[in-house]
Structure 1
Amino acid sequence: MRSVAQWCVGHRFLVLAVWLMALAGAVVAGSATGSSYANGTKLSGTPSAAAASLLQQAVPGQSGDTEQIVFQVKSGTVRDPAVRTDVTGMLGKVSHLPGVSDVTSPYGPAGAEQISADRTVAFATVNFDKDANSIPQDEATRFVDTARAPDSARLQVDVVGDVAAATNPSSSSSTLIGVVAALVVLLLFFGTVLPALLPLLSAAVGLITGLQIVNMLSNSITMASFTSQLCILIGLGVGIDYALFVLTRTRTGLRRGLSVQEAVTTAVGTAGRAVLFAGVTVCIALLGILSVGVSELSGAAIGAAITVVFAVLAALTLLPALAGLMGTRLLTRRQRRAVARGETDYDEASRGWTRWGRLVQRRALVLGVAALGVMLALGAPFLSMRQGSADYSVDPTSTTTTTYRGYEMLVHGFGPGFSGPLQLVAPLNGPGDQAAFRNVVDAAGHAPDVVTAVGPQVFPAAPGHPAVALAKVYPAGSPQDPSTTHLITNLRDTVIPGALHGSHLHVLVGGQTALGIDLADQLSGKLPLFVGMVVALSFVLLLIVFRSLAIPVTAAVMNLLSAGTAFGVMTAVFQFGWFKSLVGVTNTGPVSPYLPILMFAVLFGLTTDYQVFLVSRIQEEWLERRDNAAAVRIGMATTGRIITAAAAIMTVVFFAFTFTTDRTIKMIGLGMAVAVATDALVVRTVLVPAVMYALDRTNWRLPRALDRVLPRLDLEGGDHDAAQQIPADELTGTETPSRA
């Protein structure tokens, strides 16, 4: 690491040129290829996925995305000749758009159920021959514009569906708000402009380069629609923080009288090692998502990991080059004058944090219990989290959001369930199968929580597949309502088997609503295994770094508490509606099934970062003094200010993304802001020190047999031997002499 830093400082102009060429090349290539993010979800191994696959084989026109064009008259009825003429003409144009396979008009015999009882609201169903993921943005915009062409003062027309949702306007101010807020924190921390700008510049170059590569990869790897915003959110936060840690160590070296090259080299050789380890930890946690097996989520994880890699590279190469260019101007004028006078006895320890460390030492039990109570209280709502796909009622209520307006019209005219009909799909292999399927449709139409069932349609057999029967079931509840989840379970487990009366017909319940519910069930079932895998991996990494059993166990528990607070606050705001107006939430709904796994991976990596930065400094003092209390106190005093500043930057950057209109990103921003803030202010400054004070020398004990087989890794790159821990055959074993 030191040699890399020395080379970057010595060849700073070359390093800058390489980064600028990489940035320019990525931007040009990214502009040429564009991006293609997924607007929907692909799933396998579930009944809804099997239904979609069956339709794809037999009736491709019915297997793609389904949109609803909803219209409502301000006066009269939808059967008025003028209204009928306008709508019929519009539907004719829609039917000739690329990708549209079928349009069911409310004025035809197949659409008899698509006009409300009071005849003021109606909807047409538009089937695409491909899913929403495969429909380009320009085609989606053209479809919505064509559908809404008759919209006027007397006739309101809007569109409901995943394709329409992709055209809803999104806020682009979150990034700017986050950057400005981070700059304010950096100015307060450094007290001067130049060093405050360097972390932002380093993070921006790394982020833009990485993001362009992610955009290009989205054309060949399936990535969720929120991937680019997720990359910006994570890349901006970690990029600034990693650069901050290296730059702070550089300024410390300069204040101690080191030359610019020596200061930068020492900073990268110490803080840079911790940054590298932190970045690797975050990437490993993110890439662990690939084991879940959901392509959109895996793609988002790959994109976020690429962004983190570029943030680390920028902090370890670009920032040293920039620091070499700036030289002593990284210090304030007062600091430069002090160094010129020979005042180089600079103490990193903060008096305020020293006093706080002593207070925690004296009141470890009381403060520790209080801090634990705060974390548990914030995380308690997580126990009631309900995962699922939110419906269009949670979309922004602005006048430019077509899906929300269309959903409201459907609710007014028909009921909330009409925005997400279920599909009954079955292969017809025998002479009695059609009659058996009709029995199923009739039974489903009379099931609890069902408004009506429409169908069946029978599609003839063709080479390679049998005939297929299709019917629609309209629930009474909205797609996100718990009653709809219960309905799907009831149909699959009770209604359909009861209606078949021993028939061998295999009837599947599908549709986008069922797909979302199946996705939530699949991901929630894999969450415990994923959490266990990430915790175990981080335990092993920290065991190698700190050569202690107590420290990795403490870190795992604390990180779980921090993640729990994120999920708890997220559930309270977005599902329960507590304080929802503070982050611009209008309507509540379930938590996206993507988020617990995705956020846990990111948060576990980030909170492990803070544990590494804090405890590695404490370990350094322990190896020198062999006094646990003094080591914890000095470690807090020297890292408290920078960890708090780093956490403040991440918090304001993450919270800035609650101003976006994307509900998923809004949830991630709030949850991660809360987790980072509580982790820095409660966990790392109270709980971790309190536990380390209480454990005393047990913090540094390691079974002798384990000590011999573990590889050695020195994060700080110093002269201390990491084997200077207290090896023992048991945690309560006899201390062995340290090695000089």
Structure 2
Amino acid sequence: MAEFLYKLGKSAARRAWVVIGSWVLVLALTGGAFATWAGTLATSFDIPGLPSSEVVEELADGLPDLAGASGTIVYRTQDGSPLTASQQARISELVDDAGDLPDVSAVNDPFEAEKERAARAQDIEDGQAQLDDARAELRAGQEKLDAGSARLDAGQAELDAGQAQLDAAREQAEAAGLPTDELDAQQAQLDAQQAQLDAEGAEEGQTEIDEGRATLQEKAAQLDEGAELLHLAENIRLVSEDGSTARVNVAFDVPRLELQDESKQAVVDHFTAEPIDGVEAAASSDISQGVPSLVGPGEVTGLLFAAVVLLVMLGTVLGAGIPIVTALTGVVIGALGALSFSGVVEMASVTPVLGLMLGLAVGIDYSLFILNRHRKQLLRGMTVHDSIGLANGTSGTAVVFAGSTVIVALLALNITGIPFLGLMGTVGAACVAIAVLVAITLTPALLGLLGERVVSRRDRAKTADNDSDNDDAVADVKPMSTVRAVVTVLVSAAALLALALPAQSMRLGLPDGSSEPAGSQGERAYTISEDAFGTGSNAPLLVAVNLPAGLDEAGERGAQLAVARVLSDVDGVTAVAPIAVSDDGRLAAFQVVPADGPNSESTELLVRALRDLPPVDGDLTLGVAGQAAINIDISESLNDVLPLYLVVVVGLSLLILVLVFRSILVPVIATGGFVLSLLATYGAITAVFQQGFGASLIGLDGTGPILSFLPIILVGILFGLAMDYQLFLATGMREAYVHGDPARLAVARGFRAGRSVVIAAGLIMVSVFGGFVFADSAMIRSVGFGLAFGVLADAFVVRMLLMPALMHLLGRSAWWLPKWLDRILPDVDVEGATLGRRHHT
């Protein structure tokens, strides 16, 4: 590979304009693809097969109106007084006019909803009064019936006695042979009297009384059920109790992942663009959160800081400009290329931003590594083209292998089986691969155009005075003392472990309105809803219930009440309301309001408790969805795949490092140091973003759980970047060792030779990633902070303190490799020793 890169570098230097023109053509084609195929980025996340996703799919079949995206517009009077009639009328007008907005399926009028609530309560009160009246009538009728029954009983007793006397007389007459004509006449009179008595008994209406009582009992049961359901849902309100705040719920007919930004923005503009006098309006983060901009003031500041570092290190504006130009070229191609696929696949908004971060940081560093080598060789007297070829063959080979570790780590995200995470890794890996290609082709081309102007006069004068390059004047380098090495190892490890302590309490989640920038639409809507309706109003859960077939209206109502009772008895539930039943009567949906917000521990426990409930009445099975439940499911899924991903990434990268360094212990040291820096990064993120320590220093307005996919993303990216610095430091140590220096002296010399470029590269990465800490998006902020702190800890503590100290303590054993493994491993010659001998450099 080194020989190939040597030839590639010299060829690119000689044909600079061809190479530059080729990259300009690629850039133009990528821009055309972006203009043609770019689609919409998603601000939400989902993972197929999650419990909440299955519930949403079930709702999409039975109750499609509940399966689409939704959002909330909140109105509050500025002085806290109740909304006036004119203010209410204006809000209702906006609701009435919202039906034609794109993708909107339903918008509720909060004041009409409250009227309906009051009407239902009044109907129940009126019905109860009617029942009381009907009960009184039944009691009076029953008393009359009882009196009539007593009279009839007395008459019946007289008839029975007369019948007994007549029967006895008939028996005597027949025994004496006397005629019975007179007795027959008396019997006819008795029969007539009995018929009249029976008729009077039927007219009293005992049957009607019994039927009325049964009807009354049925209506009473219905009223009791309605009153109980109304009581269970009393905390689900659209107008606050003091009348100062109203919520307008907006439902869309497309799923949240497919909802276009244009549709969300149209809703926000419709309800908030024209202020209502004395009323503040805000849209929830579900619809107000847009796609973050790729570049902002923080990112530009970070890039400017990187340019200053390059200028200080290289001493010339032209030299400092090369890494910036090459990195920007790669980033634009990578970002536009990624966005070109957004019309074909669902792509999260943070995906191209991640590619931008990585492409910019590694693009500058990779170009810097080649440029720095070329610059040193020019100061030694090499010709421009030979120096470019050799720099590309040596440092370029290291760049290829360093990039390979990052690419492997990022592509391994696909083994998690999580689509949006795998796509993030693929886009990031593509951006890194483009950065590598740009570094080994465009950098040599630009160096060929600039010739010797990349070296400042000051550096030439210094070289002439010292007769050697200052960075390579290592004749006086001595190994560190063993005591210093031991102290360095202990202090560095202890510091990293201390920083890692907060990670023990790390909780994962996705951003909600509380984590939005202060004063933003999402943050204001969240705060207003929390103040007026309670914290749980921002985290409604959707519970789906499978009903038995063949239920009539009363059966459905009874099943709904049975489920509502069970749900309301679960700890952490403040309100329950049945909201819909499918046309076939087989699926019912309930809204459940928790006591706390979407990212609270109690809400997470509530979701688990609801899912652990047995079937209600033995056959009513429950499923839980809603944004809070979806966020919990995503976090759990990501947490479950983290160990597997870590094992795969570390395993594959260890193989690459063994191949590069031809050692067993050096890759183990590199990996162990990475684990320490990773844990320290987790701890720092938890301390700042979850516990709020020092949050004000970076302008963080609210704290909450750590972004659910951040830990796994940090593993992939930071491991690859850590191995970059390990490669550029340890290759110098190995180069000195294989050229005959004692092991501990080789550590000191290799460290001295590579420290300046690694310091510069580390500062550049920290500044680039740190620029994203001040982005508007809460997700991008945490990613930028995690990457910046991770590079800071790994590059400056692990690679420049801990690793050299451990290498010193290990001595020659650091380079131990079993003979059988040494025979089968190919010689990749990252140091370029063979290449240098072949070309007499």
TM-score computed with the length of structure 2 as normaliser? 0.81
**1:325 pairs with 2:449:** yes
Q: Secondary structure at the match of 1:107?
A: helix
1:214 Cα shift?
A: 0.8
Written as runs of structure 1 = structure 2, the 5 A alignment for 1:212-223 is 212-223=336-347
Q: Residue 634 in 1 paired to residue 765 in 2?
A: no
Q: 1:371 to 1:354 in 2, by over 3 A?
A: farther
Mapped pair 1:547 → 2:666: no
Contact map agreement 1:168 1:402 (CA 8 A) in 2: no
The equivalent residue for 1:452 is 575
In the alignment, what sits opposite 2:358?
A: 234
Q: Which residue of 1 aligns with 2:767?
A: 652
What SS does the aligned partner of 2:739 have?
Answer: helix
Structure 1 stretches of 5 or more lacking a match?
722-740
Whether the 8 Å contact between 1:354 and 1:637 is mirrored in structure 2 is no
Does 1:600 find its partner at 2:715? yes
> Are the structure 2 counterparts of residues 149 and 269 from structure 1 closer, same or farther at C-alpha, using a change threshold of 3 Å?
closer
Deviation at 1:21, TM superposition (A): 1.6
Q: CA deviation at 1:156?
A: 1.6
Determine helix, strand or coil for the equivalent of 2:817. Answer: strand
Please identify the structure whose Cα radius of gyration is greater.
2
Partner of residue 530, structure 1: 645
2:127 is matched with which residue?
A: none
What CA deviation, in whole Å up to 9, does each residue of 1:131-184 have, x standing for no partner?
A: 233222222211110121453341122111422212788972122111111011
Q: Secondary structure at the match of 1:702?
A: coil
Residue 485 of structure 1: which of 597, 604, 607 is its match?
A: 604
Aligned to 2:681: 566
Aligned positions of 1:693-732 closer than 5 A: 693-719=808-834
Verify: 1:441 aligned to 2:535, yes or no. no
| Pair 1:38-2:35 in alignment | no
- 1:158 and 2:273 matched: no
Equivalent residues of 1:69, 1:125 under 8 A apart:
yes
Range with greater deviation from structure 2 (522-531 or 112-121): 112-121
Residue pair 1:360, 1:690 contacting (<8 A) in 2 also = no
**Relative contact order higher in (CA < 8 Å, ≥ 6 apart):** 2
Partner of 2:493: 372
The secondary structure found in structure 2 opposite 1:108 is: helix
1:546 shift after superposition: 1.5
Instruction: Describe the superposition over 1:392-431 as per-residue Cα deviations: whole angstroms up to 9, x where unpaired.
Output: 1111113xx2111111110111111111200001233424
Q: Deviation string for 1:259-310 (max 9, x for gaps)?
A: 1011101101101001011111111111111111222222222221121111
User: Which residue matches 2:549?
Assistant: 430
Q: Is 1:74 equivalent to 2:198 in the alignment?
A: no
1:180 match: 304
Q: CA RMSD in A?
A: 2.2
Range 466-475 or range 27-36, more displaced? 27-36
Matched, 1:99 2:103: yes
Partner of 2:617: 501
Distance in 2 between residues matched to 1:189 and 1:168, nearest whole Å:
33
Aligned partner letter, 1:174: G
Give 1:185 shift.
0.7
Alpha carbons 2:409, 2:719 under 8 Å: kept: yes
| Contact 1:140-1:167 within 8 A present in 2 as well | no
Deviation at 1:76?
7.7
Distance 1:329 1:167, change over 3 A: closer
Once the two structures are TM-superposed, the CA of residue 46 in structure 1 deviates from its matched residue by 2.2
Equivalent position amino acid for 2:502 in 1: P
Within 5 Å, give how 1:322-361 maps onto structure 2.
Answer: 322-336=446-460, 345-346=468-469, 348-349=471-472, 358-359=479-480, 361=482
Question: For each residue in 1:241-272, what CA deviation from the matched residue of structure 2 results, as whole angstroms up to 9, or x when unmatched?
Answer: 00100000010111111110111011011010
Shift of 1:346: 3.2
User: Which residue matches 1:421?
Assistant: 540
- Is residue 300 from structure 1 mapped to residue 419 from structure 2 by the alignment? no
CA shift digits 1:359-392 (9 cap, x unpaired): 4655111111011111111122112110012321
Give 1:486 deviation, angstroms: 0.8
Q: Which of these residues, 374, 396, 404, is aligned with residue 523 of structure 2?
A: 404
Q: Secondary structure at the match of 2:831?
A: coil
- Please tell me whether the aligned partners of residues 660 and 829 of structure 2 are also in contact (alpha carbons under 8 angstroms): yes
Amino acid at match of 1:370: V
C-alpha distance in structure 2 between counterparts of 1:170 and 1:330, whole Å: 31
- How far apart are residue 229 of structure 1 and its match? 2.0
SS of alignment partner, residue 650 of structure 2: helix
CA shift, 1:646, in A, is 0.6
After superposition, the Cα gap between the structure-2 partners of 1:359 and 1:629, relative to the gap in structure 1 and judged at 3 Å, is: closer
- Cα distance in 2 for residues equivalent to 1:335 and 1:39: 50
Q: Cα–Cα, structure 1 residues 350 and 87, in superposed 2: closer, same or farther, change >3 Å?
A: farther
What residue number does 2:807 align with? Answer: 692
Of 152-161 and 594-603, more deviation after overlay is shown by 152-161
CA distance in 2, matches of 1:663, 1:470: 32
Query: Match of 1:218, SS?
Result: helix
| C-alpha distance in structure 1 between counterparts of 2:281 and 2:568, whole Å | 29
Which segment drifts farther, 251-260 or 300-309? 300-309
User: Aligned partners of 2:476 and 2:675: how far apart in 1?
Assistant: 27
| Corresponding letter in the other structure for 1:182 | A
Shift in CA distance, 318/168, structure 1 to aligned 2, threshold 3 Å: closer
Task: Give a deviation string over 1:636-655, Cα, whole Å, max 9, x none.
Answer: 01001111111011111111
Give the match for residue 181 of structure 2: none
Work out the CA distance in 2 between the residues paired with 1:524 and 1:215: 28
The aligned residue for residue 724 of structure 1 is none
2: distance between equivalents of 1:343 and 1:694? Answer: 33
Q: Secondary structure at the match of 2:609?
A: helix
Contact kept? 1:459, 1:468, Cα under 8 Å = yes
Give the Cα–Cα distance (whole angstroms) in 2 for the partners of residues 105 and 295 of structure 1: 38
Instruction: Identify the match of residue 273 of structure 1 among 384, 397, 415.
Output: 397
The one of 57, 73, 97 equivalent to 1:53 is: 57
Given that residues 87 and 150 in structure 1 are in contact (C-alpha distance below 8 angstroms), is that contact kept between their aligned partners in structure 2?
Answer: no
Separation of aligned partners in 1, 2:105 and 2:262: 18
Q: What is the CA-CA distance between 1:33 and the residue it aligns to?
A: 3.3
What's the % identity of the aligned pairs?
Answer: 32
2:319 maps to which residue?
Answer: 195
Equivalent-residue separation in structure 1 for 2:272 and 2:77 (angstroms)? 14
